[in-house]
Amino acid sequence: MKLKFAAISIHLALGVCLVSSGVQAQEGGLDLSGWDWSATSDEAAAEPAAPAEPAKPKKPRPGETAIPDFEAEPQAAIALFPDMPNLKVIPSQKDEEMLPCGNCHQWAESDPTPRLLKEPHNNFALQHGLHGKGQFWCFTCHDLEGDGGLRTLEGETLGFDQAYVLCSQCHVQEGRDWAFGAHGKRIGSWRGERQVLNCTACHYQHRPGWLPRKALAGPAMRMGLERPEHWVPLEQRGGRDPLPTPIWERAR
C-alpha cells in the first residue's frame, strides 16, 4: 500500500498498465485525460480479466475519510503528552483506493519545489487551511524520500495510522483534547482500555472541514403546532443582526 514514487521495478508493469487503460504517452508530457482514476492498483489495471475481489461494504461518510477497520488489532498510541492516558487507536482499512497519489507517482517524478498545485493536482480537494495556496503542500506532511508515508516537520517518518502525531503538531489543543478524551470518539466500551478513532477516521485529511448534510427525519409535528404558510424565520423578521459566515462555509 505504500506509495512508491520512484520505483524502477514497476516501470515494466506500467507499460501494460498504460496501454490497457487507454492512456497514451505523448511528447511534451502525459495526457492523463483518459486515465481511470478509480483504478486501485497496477495489478488490477494490468489484468482486467482477473476476477475482482469483492469490495468491502463501505458506509457513506462525509468527505473521503479513512474507514476504520474494527476487526484489526488496535495499536497503542504514541504518547503525545507525558501525563496522557494509554490509548489504543483503531487502524484504518488498508485500501489502495484511499491512495490515488500512487496511481501516478509510482512512475511520475515528484517535483519537490513548494508551489501552488495545478493540473493535474486540482483533482484533489486540497483545502486544508493554507494547503493548496502555495504555503503548505504535499511534502509538508508526506515523505518525499522513502515509502511516501507521513513525515513530521522534524523529519520523523510515521505510518498512516499515526496521523494523530502529525495533526497535533499544529492542532495542539485538539491533540490534547483527543489524548484526554474531550475530542474524537471512543469506540466499544466506556470502561477499561480506551479505544479511540484516529483523526483521519472523521476528518478527510486533505479537506478536514465537514460538509453540510441532510438531516434525518425529525419528530412528528404535534397537532396544532404546524407552521402557518406565512411563517417567516426569526432572523428574517429583523430579530437579530446578520451573523458572520461560519468556518465550514468559508472552507468550501
Partner 1 sequence: MSDKSNDQRRDPGADPQPTDLARRRFLQRLGVTALAAGATASAPAWGGSTLGDAFADFFQDHYQRMDADEVKETLARIERKAKRRYGVDIDCKDTPAIPGVVFGYAINISKCRGYRDCVHACVEENNLSRDTQYIRVVEMHHGSLNLHEGDHYYQGTVPEPGKYYLPMQCMQCDNPPCVKACPVEATWMEQDGVVVVDYDWCIGCRYCMAACPYQARHFNWGDPDLPPGEINPDTHFLGNRPRPKGVVEKCHFCLQRTREGRMPACQEACPTGARIFGNLLDPNSEIRYVLENRAVFRLKEELGTEPKFWYFRDV
Binding site for partner 1 (CB under 8 A): 61-62, 85, 173, 177, 180-192, 194, 197, 202, 210, 212-221, 225, 227, 234-235, 240, 242-243, 245-246, 248-249
Q: How far is the CB of 175 from partner 1 (least distance, A)?
A: 13
Q: How far is the CB of 141 from partner 1 (least distance, A)?
A: 22
Residue placing its CB nearer to partner 1 in the complex, 139 or 180: 180
Residue placing its CB nearer to partner 1 in the complex, 49 or 215: 215
Number of residues that this document lists for the chain: 252
Specify which residues 76 forms β-bridges with: 88
Residue placing its CB nearer to partner 1 in the complex, 3 or 90: 90
Query: Among 104, 99, 97, 100, which Cα is nearest to 23's?
Result: 104
Q: How far is the CB of 84 from partner 1 (least distance, A)?
A: 11
Residue placing its CB nearer to partner 1 in the complex, 133 or 252: 252
Residue placing its CB nearer to partner 1 in the complex, 85 or 112: 85
Q: How far is the CB of 97 from partner 1 (least distance, A)?
A: 21
| Helix (H), strand (E), coil (C) string for 74-119 | CEECCCCCCCCCCEEEECECCCHHHCCHHHHHCCCCCCCCCCCCCC
Dist CA 7 CA 109 (whole Å): 10
Nine-digit cell at 18? 498504460
Q: How far is the CB of 154 from partner 1 (least distance, A)?
A: 27
Please report the beta strands in 31-77, taking only residues with DSSP state E, as ranges in sequence order: 75-76
Dist CA 30 CA 119 (whole Å): 11
